[in-house]
Amino acid sequence: SQQGEEDPQALSIQEGENATMNCSYKTSINNLQWYRQNSGRGLVHLILIRSNEREKHSGRLRVTLDTSKKSSSLLITASRAADTASYFCATALAYNAGGTSYGKLTFGQGTILTVHP
């Protein structure tokens, strides 16, 4: 089942505006990651926030994590046409049980961001 649910499914803005995407999940996590995908290409890692962190910044990106609400948001400030892409959140859960290590990543369905010049 899909753990990460993203909202909105599509977002269309003008260059210079901010873009906010949200992600909700259902179970415990070790960290939450955001990825970007240009049409049909491989995903590129943007930022990782650990479960004990509440906010993280990287350049024009700001990620928040609220573990009590099981939600995260990705803010892209001062957007550019080159930011046009699909954005995915992914929850990571790694644990040991019975002497065996497990590690699952679960991706959301993604938000398609279009930034108009």
Partner 1 sequence: EAQVTQNPRYLITVTGKKLTVTCSQNMNHEYMSWYRQDPGLGLRQIYYSMNVEVTDKGDVPEGYKVSRKEKRNFPLILESPSPNQTSLYFCASSTVGERLYEQYFGPGTRLTVT
In whole angstroms, give the CA distance from residue 14 to residue 78: 9
Q: Does 41 bind partner 1 (CB under 8 A)?
A: yes
Q: What Å distances lie between residue 54 and 29, 49, 70, CA to CA?
A: 14, 8, 12
Q: Based on CB atoms, which residue is closest to partner 1, 13 or 105?
A: 105
Q: Based on CB atoms, which residue is closest to partner 1, 19 or 29?
A: 29
Q: Based on CB atoms, which residue is closest to partner 1, 82 or 94?
A: 94
Q: Does 61 bind partner 1 (CB under 8 A)?
A: no
Q: Which of 42, 59, 98, 99 binds partner 1 (CB under 8 A)?
A: 42
Q: Which of 90, 112, 113, 115 binds partner 1 (CB under 8 A)?
A: 90
- Tell me how many degrees the CA angle 38-94-40 measures, rounded to the nearest 5: 15
Cβ neighbours of 96 (radius 10 Å): 9
DSSP letter for 41, please.
S
Evaluate whether 3 touches 25 at the Cβ level (below 8 Å).
yes
Q: Which of 54, 57, 80, 104 binds partner 1 (CB under 8 A)?
A: 104
Q: What are phi and psi of 83, to 5 degrees?
A: -80, -10
The binding site for partner 1 (CB under 8 A) comprises 1-2, 4, 30-31, 33, 35, 40-45, 48, 50, 88, 90, 92-94, 100-110
